[in-house]
Structure 1
Amino acid sequence: RSEFNPYTHTWSLGVEEQFYLLFPLLFMTWSKGGRGRGLSMLLFGLATAGSLLFAISRALQGGQEIASFYQTTTRFWQLGAGVLLFQMLDMRRHVIGESRLTGPWPGLLQLGSASVLAYGLWAARPGHSPWIDGLWPVLGTLGLLALLHRSAVGWVGSSLSAQPMLVIGRMSYSLYLWHWPVFVLFRWTFGLDSLLAGALALVSTAVLAWVSWRWVEQPLRFGRRWRGSDLRWVAGGVVVLLLGMGLQKQLERAAKHISLSTVSRHPLDWYPYAKGLQKEFPDCELVVSRLPVTGGQVQQFERGSCAAGRGVERRLFVAGDSHVLAYREMLRRLVLLDGGQVRVYASAGCALIGLQGRQPGDPGCAAYVRHSLADVATQARAGDVLFLPGLRVPRLVEQYELLDQQHVLAAVRSEEAAAARKAEVYGAIAALKPLADRGVRIVLEAPKPVLPAPPFRCSDPFNRGNPICVNGMVVTRERMEALRAPALSSLQQVAQALPGASVWDPLPVLCTGVSCQPGQAGKPLYFDGDHLSGHGNRVLLPSFRSHLAAEVH
């Protein structure tokens, strides 16, 4: 999520820098005067109009919201409009001289421009910028600049010329640079939901901005000791960039030793990336490849050079949503321990048997299911296994958002949900029966426990008080059994209708007592509210291996 990334706001600095690379090429003829000024205005006008039309076309197409938000080509018109305003005001001054509006008009126009600007800031919506929601701040700002560029007349001009506003204006760049990392830090720790937290974040931003403005920005801009040739500035900038890059690399390498976060200090326990397997299995190579299939790619794991030989000849096909990806460590370890081949098909939010009533209306999900099953049908032989994990109960919490748990429970028990599950059971049986009849063994994953809070955000002393952690990370086994009962019943119906099919249940391993805990023996079982951690993969591996072995016998 961009709101939790301290570097997100650097995109706007990138847009600004790219604009300044183009700016001299479009503006150089302006300094020559005469026709050169007209040519420069024409170039800026064409570039601004082209950027605006491109932004509008992307907005009308739909599906390009994220790219449009960050691209310079869709943002150029917002900066170009300011350059054109300067050029027009300067040309007007040279042609007809200075002139000012009189009477009530200046105040009314200033109020109108300020209102347009305020409306644009208040009504901005995610996914609607730079067009159309980015239009109103641009128009309002252009109006204020045009009306106030010579003198601060009227109450709007007087307000903007007040000493507090001038201080904010002088420090605006530092305030912009600091506000985002400070806000991100608060989101990860105390949260920004309360009035006190918001006030502390603003004060922290102001203090840091003043320090950097006073002791970095001002000396560099006006200090005598920093005066030098442009070449020295460029060389110094390159040195600073290289030093910063080197420092960043060293911090990344040392993260597990110096970080305050348990997630960063113990990445192999938290992330199911299986990066430590080479040291753990020095005599056995894991070959990972990506193969093209209709509609995307499939990831394949198999043994390479291994002292134990090729191992079993079984092929395991794994298809589902993001929970397939959360099983990567378990699947890789399975190959290293037993041999065989694993083919992974994954599409986030699209379980082959989701049992939450979401997939039928999603054409992309339906296409993924068709393509995955078609490839399995082409590749699988009798005795191979098709493993279908997935999120089959509603989440109790998102990674960055609390959910209404009573609403979640009510939705599971509703008549609409029951009807959707019934229809999905019939559809799953129809889709999987041809594979089962050919001797492919179907293994369905019973719903794993889901937690009321994401452990990766609530496991350190500095973030346990975050609002996302308010419900705690523990769910009673009784409550979990009740939540998953409808989905488990549906899965059992599917398994009973397919020859050789079975249901593998991770819950007894993950919930060893009357409650389902986020971890065992001081290590996490879960990364977030429903995806397994690396340690969770290792805990479940013996149970999964036993289930596969029992299926063979």
Structure 2
Amino acid sequence: MTVVESSRTVAPRGGGRAPDRGFRPEVQGLRALAVLMVVAYHVWFGRVSGGVDVFLLISAFLLALSFLRKVESGRPLDLGRHWLHQFKRLLPAVVVVILGTLGATYLLVPRSRWTDILEQAWASLFYVQNWVLASNAVDYYADDHSLASPLQHFWSLSVQGQVFILWPLLFVLSALVARRFRLRFRGVVLLVFGALFVASLGFSVWETSTNQAYAYFDTRARLWEFALGTLLALALPFLRLPRVLRIMAGWLGVGAMLSGGFLLDVQGQFPGYVALWPLLAAALVIAAGQTGSAVGADRFLLSRPLVRMGDLSYALYLWHWPVLVLFLIWRDAAAPGILGGLVVIAVSLVLAYLTMRFVERPLRALAWADRRRRRSVIVLAVCLTLVAAPLAGWQREIRLESERIAAQADTNNPGARIFDTDYVDQTDPDAPLVPTADVGGRDYANVLTPCTGRFATEAGALQGLNCSIIVDQAEPSRTIVAVGNSHVQQWLATMKPLAEENGWALVALVRGGCQFGGFVEAVAAECNERNAQAKDYIADLRPDLVFTTGTYSVSEPPFELLPGGFSRGASELIEQGIPVLAIRDNPRFTRNMMECAEDFGESAQECNVREEEVRDMSGVTPIQQMADITPGLKVMDLNDYVCFSGSCPAVIGNMRVYLDDNHLTSTYARTLSPYFFERMMAATGW
């Protein structure tokens, strides 16, 4: 992480009490402490420390000091030159880290994860990584970092880059308003950023409480952190605390910073109001300033190792996460341990030093590029090209290979067609699996077409319903609504060709992690709300059939559960004369079955799990139990097309069955269409 101005050239002198300029090496030490917190918490504790929030505050604090000086000294705010200079400082190190990560990805990371990493490389390069992660609802707190993207940490740099564009515009707006209405410039800045602080904090609290995984990466939910840094820059000249209080404030701030990650529920509450903890802690340290006391916190922050570590902070932040993730992938481990963590940190420090010494410093000191704007543009264009060219080439090769293999899939990759009684094996024994590992992780049914027209009922317009049209027909013979979680979504790939062939309209109400059913107190509030909306929508639309999953598989005994509230929710629809068809859930495994075939080979025992290890074989199937307790419920079971001959394999008919540890690939699901149709017709009596 970086800041917009060096703490060596901007910040107050004299204990942080008056002028907002001078030498503030303790801020450099504060940055070092923050990056060490981030690294240590990630490597050894698997927790979020709040150190990133401190970086954001410092960035805005120093950026505000810079623009306040420029405006009040009468210097022009040349935003074009400012942005070129800023990104010329930031981008070269980003390019080096992305290229290094891509090279290591090619050597160490399973092919099934390449596509995601390549897309995130583009997002990181253009400072939109946070939005990509937000849309994917990434769990930044996952205990097993080996499953994370090695570029995931670029989310914070993306937020910061977006603010580096927005903040100067707000200062220019403030200057124009102050000049137009003859107001004090600092008063206008206080009003603008104070309003932004209140609005963003309120939004952050709301979004964190309703969709915390998204809020964590949402720039709008982070703007208040930058606004607080700006307000601190405005307030600093008026903070004239006695020396004793500044000493106490400095140590209180340091202590609060170091302990926050352990004392706070960062997993469930960041970045809402709880993020005030690390921010106010850092603000106390900055307000304390240089006390000149031998027992002051600034004495600790001014130590040479911390100040020098501050010089490395940006590069160290960039390198530590990919080194950690790649190390865990190489070791096939969920956590590095004490010694492994030391190795990760040592390698990260070496790479950070080399990046600072041979990339950051030389390019920042490149006076040639600063003399003309077009020269800075050339530097940035070269940086972008160094990443864009190999990225585009790599993605093109993946696409061409997938297309070539897909062209021969009918013969070489029969999938579930091997279950046909008249099937004759004509596959090439050397034919590759489909979907290819490069794209297999994305081989999932599309739900991107929102409900419109006759499918946009009043209930359908409600937020959180996630209504999508899968197949529309001018005059459908039947209308089907598929409702439930991601395991309903996977069956859309099976149902779509059937709907197209038979003149059915198919609508999906799917939301990941939300099993369809009645109200259950133990279920997340948003899922209960979504299910209530879904039932209202279905009652308005009155489809010919509602399709959903009627059981819920888990990877441990008893392996399959009857979801709470399902019988009640299904009965509510059945009593209204709306037929409900529930399918048995497919198995869940303890390992990623897509990667299993890569790691061990499709014939390996690890990739052909005994059925009794994922299914209870002792009695009546759970889906039949659900039918017994829910009068009128129609059920179907395709378990014998994913588990057969006592085994549940990762590959069937030279085709990957799963894209992870529990979701069917769309490619395999489509080959199940004939068998799905047969059992669906038998269950419904159509």
Q: Under a length normalisation based on structure 2, what TM-score does the superposition of the two structures give?
A: 0.59
SS in 2 for 1:530: coil
Equivalence for 1:47: 192
Equivalence for 2:397: 254
Q: Which amino acid aligns with 2:376?
A: W
Equivalence for 2:656: 524
Q: Which amino acid aligns with 1:301?
A: V
| Alignment counterpart, residue 370 of structure 1, candidates 524, 531, 535 | 535
Deviations 1:95-122 (A, max 9, x none): xxxx9966x6664443223223223344
| Alignment counterpart, residue 344 of structure 1, candidates 507, 510, 523 | 507
The sequence identity of aligned pairs, in percent, is: 19
Equivalent residue pairs, number = 487
Highest RCO, 1 vs 2 (Cα 8 Å, sep ≥ 6): 2
Q: Does 1:491 align with 2:650?
A: no
Q: Does 1:432 align with 2:602?
A: no
Distance 1:47 1:179, change over 3 A: farther
Question: Contact 2:457–2:540 at 8 Å: present in 1 too?
Answer: yes
Q: How does 1:228-307 map to 2 (within 5 A)?
A: 228-238=371-381, 240-241=383-384, 244-245=387-388, 248-255=391-398, 265=437, 267=439, 271-273=443-445, 291-296=455-460, 297-301=467-471
Q: Does 1:444 align with 2:575?
A: no
Distance 1:332 1:199, change over 3 A: farther
- Structure 1 residue 217: Cα displacement: 0.6
Question: Contact 1:319–1:387 at 8 Å: present in 2 too?
Answer: yes
| Alignment counterpart, residue 323 of structure 1, candidates 487, 503, 513 | 487
- Structure 1 residue 234: Cα displacement: 3.6
Question: Contact 2:445–2:666 at 8 Å: present in 1 too?
Answer: yes
Distance 1:542 1:482, change over 3 A: same
Q: Does 1:392 align with 2:551?
A: yes
Deviations 1:469-506 (A, max 9, x none): xx9883533750349946323333268x43xx643211
Mean Cα displacement is larger for which, 203-212 or 230-239?
Answer: 230-239
Equivalence for 2:365: 222
Equivalence for 1:179: 320
Equivalence for 2:675: 543
- Structure 1 residue 173: Cα displacement: 1.3
Question: Contact 1:443–1:504 at 8 Å: present in 2 too?
Answer: yes
| Alignment counterpart, residue 206 of structure 1, candidates 349, 372, 377 | 349
Equivalence for 1:119: 259
Q: Which stretches in structure 2 are left out of the alignment for 5+ residues?
A: 1-137, 141-147, 403-432, 461-466
- Structure 1 residue 507: Cα displacement: 0.8
| Alignment counterpart, residue 480 of structure 1, candidates 615, 632, 648 | 615
- Structure 1 residue 292: Cα displacement: 1.7
- Structure 1 residue 522: Cα displacement: 4.4
SS in 1 for 2:371: coil
Q: Which amino acid aligns with 2:586?
A: K
Deviations 1:98-153 (A, max 9, x none): x9966x66644432232232233443413534442222322222232233348685
Equivalence for 1:284: none
Q: Which amino acid aligns with 2:529?
A: G
Question: Contact 1:390–1:445 at 8 Å: present in 2 too?
Answer: yes
Q: Quote the Cα distance in structure 1 between the aligned partners of 2:284 and 2:236.
A: 12
Equivalence for 1:14: 161
- Structure 1 residue 169: Cα displacement: 0.4
Q: Which amino acid aligns with 2:258?
A: A
- Structure 1 residue 205: Cα displacement: 2.7
Q: Which amino acid aligns with 2:187?
A: L
SS in 2 for 1:346: strand
| Alignment counterpart, residue 79 of structure 1, candidates 217, 226, 244 | 226
Q: Which amino acid aligns with 1:518?
A: A
Deviations 1:164-208 (A, max 9, x none): 212210011112223344445456663452314433433343233
Q: Does 1:145 align with 2:286?
A: yes
- Structure 1 residue 88: Cα displacement: 5.1
Q: Quote the Cα distance in structure 2 between the aligned partners of 1:243 and 1:483.
A: 59
Question: Contact 2:368–2:375 at 8 Å: present in 1 too?
Answer: no
Q: Which amino acid aligns with 1:461?
A: D
Distance 1:353 1:146, change over 3 A: closer
- Structure 1 residue 237: Cα displacement: 2.5
Question: Contact 1:303–1:335 at 8 Å: present in 2 too?
Answer: no
Q: Quote the Cα distance in structure 1 between the aligned partners of 2:678 and 2:306.
A: 69
Equivalence for 2:20: none
Distance 1:457 1:479, change over 3 A: closer
Distance 1:332 1:15, change over 3 A: same
Question: Contact 1:448–1:505 at 8 Å: present in 2 too?
Answer: no
Q: Quote the Cα distance in structure 2 between the aligned partners of 1:273 and 1:476.
A: 26
- Structure 1 residue 162: Cα displacement: 2.8
SS in 1 for 2:456: strand
Deviations 1:399-426 (A, max 9, x none): xxxxxx35x66x95xxxx7xx86x7536
Q: Quote the Cα distance in structure 2 between the aligned partners of 1:224 and 1:360.
A: 56
Q: Quote the Cα distance in structure 1 between the aligned partners of 2:681 and 2:220.
A: 57
Q: Quote the Cα distance in structure 1 between the aligned partners of 2:384 and 2:472.
A: 42
- Structure 1 residue 331: Cα displacement: 1.7
RMSD after superposition: 4.6
Question: Contact 1:289–1:300 at 8 Å: present in 2 too?
Answer: no
Distance 1:510 1:171, change over 3 A: same
Deviations 1:28-86 (A, max 9, x none): 69xx9xxx9x9333233223432332244335544265665445555444334444544
Q: Quote the Cα distance in structure 2 between the aligned partners of 1:113 and 1:360.
A: 36
Q: Quote the Cα distance in structure 2 between the aligned partners of 1:344 and 1:219.
A: 57
Question: Contact 1:451–1:475 at 8 Å: present in 2 too?
Answer: no
Distance 1:357 1:13, change over 3 A: closer
Q: Which amino acid aligns with 1:201?
A: V
Distance 1:88 1:535, change over 3 A: closer
Q: Which amino acid aligns with 2:195?
A: G
Mean Cα displacement is larger for which, 215-224 or 227-236?
Answer: 227-236
Q: Quote the Cα distance in structure 2 between the aligned partners of 1:201 and 1:462.
A: 27
Question: Contact 2:658–2:665 at 8 Å: present in 1 too?
Answer: yes
- Structure 1 residue 374: Cα displacement: 1.6
Question: Contact 1:319–1:346 at 8 Å: present in 2 too?
Answer: yes
Equivalence for 2:311: 170
Q: Which stretches in structure 1 are left out of the alignment for 5+ residues?
A: 93-98, 276-286, 305-309, 381-385, 397-404, 465-470
Distance 1:166 1:484, change over 3 A: farther
Q: Quote the Cα distance in structure 1 between the aligned partners of 2:611 and 2:523.
A: 29
